Amino acid sequence: MRKDAHEILYNPRLNKGTAFGEAERELLGLTGLFPDAVETGELQRMRALAQLAHRANDLERYIYLSELQDRNERLFYQLLRADPVRHMPIVYTPTVGEACQKFGHIMRRPKGLYVSLKHRGRIADILRNWPESDVRIICVTDGERILGLGDLGICGMGIPVGKLALYTAIGGVHPARCMPVVLDVGTNNQGFLEDPLYPGLRAPRTRGPEYDAFVEEFVVAVQQVFPRCCIQFEDFHNTTAIPLLARYRDRVCCFNDDIQGTAAVAVAGLFAACRALNNTLADHRYLFFGAGSAATGIAELVIEAMKSRGVSETDARARIWLMNSKGLVVRDNPGIQPHQREFVREGRLEPTLLEAVKAVRPTVLIGTSTQPATFTREVLGSMRDYCDQPVVFPYSNPTSRSECTAEQAWTWTDGMAIFASGSPFAPVAIDGRVLIPGQGNNVYIYPAVGLAVFATEASRVTDEMFLRAAESLAARTSDAELSVGLIYPPIERIHQSAVEVAVEVAELIFDRGLARVERPSDINAWIRSKVYDPAY
């Protein structure tokens, strides 16, 4: 075999498999290395779908798609973009949660870059080992808080890999510009430490100044090696995520998807809910069940959205209540964390969700707790006592961690709730209607923001960009879709929605002087010209 033929066959970015034409095969020395038939991408997708159908479960389908990505990248993205409803839950949530839990056992070709404590002092050199020299988006985790599953150490690599696959499939960022990274600082998962197939450092998590210095070296090295790169912090523990964002947001181009992306998709859902109810954000009372960084991030963006519409900060904050593991976040709550202090309210410490609902009388209930089955019949029934159409958003994922299902929410509210969840649920038939649950997944937001940042080479990522993305996304849902329960655009057209949102975010980036490229005369056409096309 010729050397160049070998390089093409084993480079997933170049390999087209049986789609190479006869002239290409002759030119590249591939003749005889495939059967004679020259197949279209459509035929290749048919074969891939047939092979997927024979897999026993979604984890096996995840493994198959991962291997497809390793041998024919464009075919992998053709599949994802052609049918995101079918494949997004396999490539990302909820299946990626199980894949991360079993990562050490199902690992084939290690994807991404593993930056270990052993690499201190030479992280820039480790980054240069990556085969692409112009990385624009890094999704990085330290694996401590993977979805609602806790500390998975370097097995959390499945999250950056999955996130970046959707940057490309949904947002249209070229895969060569994306790099998944795990910071291996050890793990406190005793099961992993005792598992001979765990492939990471076998040591307890490093914390404190040593951890901070390690992350600092990483961030500085990224600026040195990939100066046009945006860093997405992903699935860090609350106690780490909030300080990291505060430390770096005004220094480098970065954001935290769990805080800012989650906030934007939630606020987009609230904008759409207000359209369905013909009211405004300021007409609601909000109770967050779960008071981590996701909850406070959503709450802060809700406040900013109200302020942008003329509501004072005092009045906006007066509409927000949080609930942590000890109960309502009031002055007597013994478990208040630093990031919750801005949300401390006067009142009685109500220890249960049902008691909190009765005391606060929220019209919007948002779950970020990862505590399943906590939005009970009694809780939602209590909301119905004073609210005809409660807004119910159980955003925790994966599915096993959702606070309630779509069927439960609509059954217990006689089909009247405005519903969205973090995980996918099937349509629900009730009282002669079929209601379609919306999935408030960050995938509606971060690929769009990422495409805008990638195209404009933005120097910073701001909360205003996420608010603009939320406003744009909410406008993408039609009145007809709202009438059947959807508050987000259907997943079927999520790629189209992402590009449209990216155009509006890019306009804001130019307006605020944050772009590092010249403003084009037609931003819409210019953004679309940047979108990756996986077709052969």
pLDDT digits (tens, 9 = 90+) for 470-515: 999 999 999 999 999 999 999 999 999 999 999 999 999 999 999 9
**465 and 420 assigned to the same domain:** no
pLDDT digits (tens, 9 = 90+) for 369-423: 999 999 999 999 999 999 999 999 999 988 889 999 999 999 999 999 999 999 8
Range(s) of the domain holding residue 15: 3-72
| CATH number of the domain that residue 181 is part of | 3.40.50.10380
Rounded Cα–Cα distance for residues 204 and 477 (Å): 46
| CATH number of the domain that residue 377 is part of | 3.40.50.720
**116 and 226 assigned to the same domain:** yes
Rounded Cα–Cα distance for residues 183 and 472 (Å): 34
Quick check: 148 pLDDT over 90?
no
Residue finishing a domain among 217, 252, 287: 252
**231 and 369 assigned to the same domain:** no
* Confidence (pLDDT) at 94: 86
pLDDT digits (tens, 9 = 90+) for 190-202: 999 999 999 999 9
Mean pLDDT of the 279-300 span = 96
Number of compact structural domains in the chain? 4
Residue finishing a domain among 72, 103, 126: 72
Rounded Cα–Cα distance for residues 523 and 503 (Å): 7
In a domain, 86, yes or no: no
In a domain, 409, yes or no: yes
**244 and 304 assigned to the same domain:** no
* Confidence (pLDDT) at 189: 97
| CATH number of the domain that residue 55 is part of | 1.20.1370.30
Q: Say if CB 197 and CB 105 are below 8 A apart.
A: yes
pTM of the complete model beyond 0.75: yes
In a domain, 374, yes or no: yes
* Confidence (pLDDT) at 30: 94
Residue type present at position 458: A
* Confidence (pLDDT) at 23: 96
Q: Give the pLDDT band (50/70/90) at residue 3.
A: low
**138 and 222 assigned to the same domain:** yes
Mean of all residue pLDDT scores within the chain: 96
Omega within 30 of 0 (cis) for the link into 110 = no
**Dihedral, 92, 98, 104, 107 alpha carbons, nearest 10:** -40
**33 and 47 assigned to the same domain:** yes
Residue 305 vs residues 317, 469, 483, 509: alpha-carbon distances, Å: 12, 12, 24, 18
Rounded Cα–Cα distance for residues 397 and 399 (Å): 5
Rounded Cα–Cα distance for residues 118 and 454 (Å): 31
Rounded Cα–Cα distance for residues 167 and 158 (Å): 14
Q: Which is nearest to 454 in space by CA: 166, 172, 129, 92?
A: 172
**437 and 448 assigned to the same domain:** no
118 class by beta-carbon count within 10 Å (0-12 exposed, 13-18 middle, 19+ buried): exposed
* Confidence (pLDDT) at 65: 97
Q: Give the pLDDT band (50/70/90) at residue 424.
A: confident
Is 468 in a helix, a strand, or coil? helix
Quick check: 1 pLDDT over 70?
no
Quick check: 183 pLDDT over 90?
yes
141 class by beta-carbon count within 10 Å (0-12 exposed, 13-18 middle, 19+ buried): buried
**436 and 451 assigned to the same domain:** no
DSSP letter at 167 equals: I
pLDDT digits (tens, 9 = 90+) for 306-327: 999 999 999 999 999 999 999 9
Mean pLDDT of the 88-106 span = 94
Rounded Cα–Cα distance for residues 346 and 367 (Å): 22
Quick check: 5 pLDDT over 90?
no
**372 and 230 assigned to the same domain:** no
DSSP labels for 259-328?
IIIHHHHHHHHHHHHHHHHT--GGG--EEEES-SHHHHHHHHHHHHHHHHTT--HHHHHTTEEEEETTEE
Is 169 in a helix, a strand, or coil? helix
**111 and 141 assigned to the same domain:** yes
Rounded Cα–Cα distance for residues 425 and 237 (Å): 27
pLDDT digits (tens, 9 = 90+) for 325-370: 999 999 999 999 999 999 999 999 999 999 999 999 999 999 999 9
* Confidence (pLDDT) at 162: 96
**51 and 108 assigned to the same domain:** no
Distance between start and end Cα atoms, the chain:
24
Q: Say if CB 303 and CB 317 are below 8 A apart.
A: yes
Quick check: 26 pLDDT over 90?
yes
**145 and 65 assigned to the same domain:** no
Q: Say if CB 258 and CB 297 are below 8 A apart.
A: yes
Mean pLDDT of the 258-287 span = 97
* Residues paired with 184 in a beta bridge: 116
Q: Which residues carry out catalysis?
A: 92, 163
Quick check: 166 pLDDT over 70?
yes
